[in-house]
Chains A and B, each alone.
Chain A
Amino acid sequence: MVESPASDPTSSSVPPTLAARAWYVRGLSAGITSVQGWVLIASYVGFGGLCAGIGFPPGPAVFSSLLVLALPSQLLLVGGYAAGNGALVIALAVLLSAARLLPSVVTLLPYLRGRGRLVVQLFAAHFVAVTIWVESRRHLPPLPVEARLPFYFGMVTVFNSGSVVATATGFMLAGRLPHALAIGLTFLTPISFLLALTRNSRDLVDYLSLFLGLALAPLFAEFGGKLDLLWTGLVGGTAAWIVHRWRGRAA
């Protein structure tokens, strides 16, 4: 199995499976040493705490980190559940918010082509979210083409399993911490998401959609009926976009 390095150190005759495994291991270690990855894991500890705080059961909370792996989608899911929204309303809200993943996947695809098998590409695309996108854009371009996919799956393994463990940890912590600290854990995801949205805002349209989302939420919660969250997103987002268009034309 192990090839003697003395036989031919620059060999290209290394079995492809062995090479792929080596790249996978490098991907694992890149994932473990990723600062973004640790921020992600801390966020999932907060998500677990939030689920405990709002009464979303632990099994489905962990299941969502395993399967959905997009924190905004999961936040809408458990937030909608806590607000008593129906499945269809939550699904629509998640559908609207997750549309932002489409360009992320498209820009990453050139590095995830592999041997061109559609099933492999679909499987690879399933794991695309903000953190893996950032780290892939950093690590994958300089790698040889055949190394990219195994390296990517190495990072994905760390991020996905880390998210799962972190969610369970956060949920358990919430039950064991003193009451005030458990409340702090519940609050971690809302406050860090709010500041992250602020930090990520570049243009007027970003700030405006953030502000309108915050301002319209209580209004629609009072008067918007069952679809209040959707109204908040659609009305707030559309209004911000119209102002952006109008300013663009005026300039």
Chain B
Amino acid sequence: MNASTGDLWPYLLVIVAGFLPTDIWRWLAVIFARRLDEGSEIMIFVRAVATALVAGVIMRLVLLPTGDLVAVPLAIRAGAVAGGFVVYFLARRSMLVGVLAGEAIMVAGAYFTTG
């Protein structure tokens, strides 16, 4: 692979692996515009697979990171997720408070362990 195709590859990836597989559903919806029941079994199944996929990619990013997060010890990464989760529930399901708590653990941990 030469330099120019190497540079263009991520753009192509965005089109082929991001744009097309996302927009195909938007277009199918227009073309087969029957009313779909959001509570139907097939939609519940679709939602379940989508949720598991996104949960899976989050777990990968945190547990098996690449790039910057690698520098942070596993215990702190796991602690930031767990802490954010626990505080979210303690704060009566406040997303803002949960995110801030997880972030505080991550930033403090990164500050003291990676310099």
Chain B residues within an 8 Å CB radius of A146: none
Bitwise interface map of A from 217 to 242 toward B, beta carbon under 8 Å scored 1, else 0: 11011000000011011111110110
Nearest B-chain residue to A72, judged by Cβ? B54
Asked whether B16 lies within 8 Å of A91 as measured between CB atoms, the reply is: yes
Is B61 in the interface zone, CB < 8 Å from A? yes
Q: A173 at the A/B interface (Cβ < 8 Å)?
A: no
Alpha-carbon separation in the docked complex, A82 to B111 (Å): 24
Asked if A191 is at the interface (CB within 8 A of a chain B CB), the reply is yes
Cα–Cα, bound, A126→B24 (Å): 9
* A60 pairs with B14, CB closer than 8 A: yes
| B17 within 8 Å of A (CB atoms) | yes
Could you tell me the distance in whole angstroms from the C-beta of B60 to the nearest C-beta in chain A?
Answer: 5
Closest chain B CB from A179 CB (angstroms): 6
Q: Indicate if the CB atoms of B110 and A184 lie closer than 8 Å.
A: yes
CA distance A110 to B6 in the complex (A): 43
A106 touches B36 (CB 8 A): yes
Q: Is the interface of B mostly helix, strand, loop or mixed?
A: helix
Residues of A in contact (CB 8 Å), total: 99
Asked if A115 lies at the interface with its beta carbon under 8 angstroms from chain B, I say no
Residues A214 and B59 in contact, CB atoms below 8 Å apart: yes
B51 at interface, CB cutoff 8 A: yes
Please name the residue on chain B nearest to A54 by beta carbon.
Answer: B67
Q: Given A121-B30, A126-B26, A236-B56, is A87 in contact with B51 using a C-beta cutoff of 8 Å?
A: no
Chain B positions 60-108 with a Cβ under 8 Å from a chain A Cβ: 60-69, 71-72, 80-81, 84-85, 88, 93, 95, 98-99, 102-103, 106-108
Cβ A213 vs Cβ B54 within 8 A: yes
Residues in chain B within 8 A of chain A (CB atoms): 10-30, 33-36, 38, 41, 43-69, 71-72, 80-81, 84-85, 88, 93, 95, 98-99, 102-103, 106-108, 110-111, 114-115
| A interface residues, Cβ below 8 angstroms from B | 50, 52-57, 59-60, 63-64, 67-68, 70, 72-77, 79-83, 87-88, 90-107, 109, 118, 121-122, 125-126, 128, 179-184, 186-188, 190-199, 201, 205-206, 208-214, 216-218, 220-221, 229-230, 232-238, 240-241, 244-245
